[in-house]
């Protein structure tokens, strides 16, 4: 089967991107992926890929099915988490740290969530989200050089990467060969990858774009996304930002595959969690002339699988919490705002609870009430059966009583029993893909 591929995220593993002399290049005796006579006709073993692709599809279908039953507020929070996680992780892979609060606030504004906070905007955060949003919003459109140039320009609005001025909104044009290397003090640098010459980049990218826009309908969407990302990274068309733009391209391919602009899970977060595997798989695929990219596609499908499973787990938590509060407010409508705040804190703390447990003093500090009010409200919660008291005197602690029923468990059981969560349903969900 034909496909196309290549890699670059190795530059975030601490190898440093730099240019080398022609004399050094001539000494190289090994070939890279793009130097193969068969480039870009890549091969995959469909039989070997089927288990990984099927497992990823099942995880996607299960998550999408459960998402369809979420309340609007929970779905909004799920999308917010997906956007934030993707932005933070894709930046982390490149060695950039984005502030969580800034990312969530910016993502909430973009999703038009009611509780979006007005905060000072961070340029790096906005740039990263601009690219991710463009990749999703533009997914119904054909890929083009201009589109990729626009993403790159958005990523570097000042025209600089750190303090270094770079060529933005256009492919690299320097004459020196580009390499990803690890410097070794007093020893020859370790060369991880050499990209195609700048003079050939436009032609390589034209091949990729033409393939991306004309992929046969029967081609598996996950495999297409994996190949698109690898191919882009092999070309390494920009002076900087190739990893982020390449992962945005994969997100565009996945959005096209799913036929939705909803971001329910984060692929980059899974890549970040297994960043060692990410670097190794990209290097293995691009650092030789073997056109069989089966291992790379298998690994990529595994990331999609894990990302969908993580979303499933998050939705379970959200549904548990929604049901918990619905039942609690129905049973105890007299709860005060401070009691609600304390209960929510205890719930989010999970089974382990606060370090040292909830005490009267902690209630005072958390809710901003007097000690007498704290004691009275905690006692009332115990009388309602919401909290459980342990210890005496200064050792008195309060914990959340475990609910006797779990709505999510019931729902999940019904969901699977009725066939909406089985493979047949998953196949139906993807029948038009």
- Position 27 pLDDT exceeds 60: no
Q: For residues 182 and 14, is the Cβ–Cβ distance under 8 A?
A: yes
Residue ranges covered by each domain of the chain: 9-315, 332-400
Q: pLDDT confidence of 336, banded at 50, 70, 90?
A: very high
CATH for 332-400 (1.10.10.60, 1.20.1630.10, 3.40.190.10, 1.10.10.10): 1.10.10.10
- Say what the pLDDT of residue 351 is: 63
Question: Is the model more confident about 159 or about 402?
Answer: 159
- Say what the pLDDT of residue 352 is: 61
pTM comes to 0.75
Give the SS3 label for residue 389. strand
pLDDT tens, position by position, 53-95: 999 999 998 888 887 776 666 667 777 777 777 878 888 888 7
- 175-180's contacts with Cβ under 8 Å and 24+ in sequence apart are 176/19, 176/20, 176/21, 177/19, 177/20, 177/22, 177/25, 178/17, 178/19, 178/236, 179/17, 179/18, 179/19, 179/20, 180/8, 180/10, 180/11, 180/15, 180/16, 180/17
pLDDT tens, position by position, 181-192: 777 777 877 777
CATH number of 9-315: 1.10.3290.10
**In the chain, pLDDT over 70 holds for what percent of residues?**
80
| Average pLDDT along the chain | 80
- Read out DSSP for 37-93? TTTT--B--HHHHHHHHHHHHHHHHHHHHHHTTS-HHHHHHHHHHHHHHHHHHHHHH
pLDDT tens, position by position, 289-325: 889 999 999 999 999 999 999 988 878 877 788 788 8
pLDDT tens, position by position, 229-277: 999 999 999 999 999 999 999 999 999 998 877 777 889 988 999 999 9
């Amino acid at each position: 089967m034909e496909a196309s591929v290549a890699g670059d995220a190795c530059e975030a593993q601490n190898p440093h991107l730099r240019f080398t002399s022609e004399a050094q290049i001539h000494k190289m005796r090994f070939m890279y992926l793009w130097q193969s006579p068969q480039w870009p006709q890549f091969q995959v073993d469909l039989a070997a890929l089927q288990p990984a692709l099927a497992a990823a599809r099942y995880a996607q279908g299960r998550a999408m099915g459960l998402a369809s039953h979420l309340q609007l507020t929970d779905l909004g929070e799920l999308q917010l988490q997906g956007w934030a996680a993707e932005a933070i992780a894709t930046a982390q892979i490149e060695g950039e740290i984005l502030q969580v609060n800034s990312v969530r606030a910016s993502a909430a504004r973009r999703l038009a969530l009611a509780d979006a906070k007005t905060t000072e905007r961070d340029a790096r955060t906005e740039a990263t989200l601009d690219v991710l949003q463009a990749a999703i919003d533009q997914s119904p459109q054909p890929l083009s050089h201009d589109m990729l140039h626009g993403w790159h320009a958005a990523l570097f609005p000042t025209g600089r990467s750190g303090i270094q001025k770079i060529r933005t909104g256009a492919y690299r044009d320097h004459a020196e060969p580009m390499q990803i290397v690890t410097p070794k003090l007093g020893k020859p640098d370790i060369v991880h990858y050499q990209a195609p010459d700048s003079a050939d980049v436009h032609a390589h990218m034209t091949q990729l774009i033409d393939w991306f826009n004309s992929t046969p309908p029967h081609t598996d969407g996950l495999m297409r996304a994996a190949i698109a990302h690898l191919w882009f990274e092999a070309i390494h068309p920009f002076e900087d930002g190739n990893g982020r733009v390449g992962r945005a391209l994969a997100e565009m391919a996945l959005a096209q595959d799913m036929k939705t602009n909803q971001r329910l899970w984060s692929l980059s977060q899974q890549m970040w969690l297994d960043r060692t595997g990410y670097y190794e798989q990209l290097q293995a695929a691009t650092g030789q002339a073997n056109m069989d990219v089966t291992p790379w596609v298998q690994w990529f499908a595994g990331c999609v699988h894990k990302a969908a499973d993580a979303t499933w787990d998050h939705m379970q938590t959200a549904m548990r919490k929604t049901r918990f509060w619905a039942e609690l407010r129905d049973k105890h409508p007299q709860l005060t705002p401070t009691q609600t705040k304390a209960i929510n804190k205890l719930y989010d703390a999970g089974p382990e609870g606060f370090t040292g447990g909830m005490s009267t003093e902690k209630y005072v500090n958390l809710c901003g009430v007097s000690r007498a009010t704290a004691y009275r409200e905690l006692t009332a919660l115990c009388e309602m059966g919401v909290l459980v008291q342990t210890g005496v005197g200064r050792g008195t602690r309060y914990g959340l009583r475990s609910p006797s029923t779990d709505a999510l468990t019931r729902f999940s059981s019904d969901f699977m029993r009725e066939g909406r969560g089985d493979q047949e349903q998953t196949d139906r969900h993807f029948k038009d893909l």
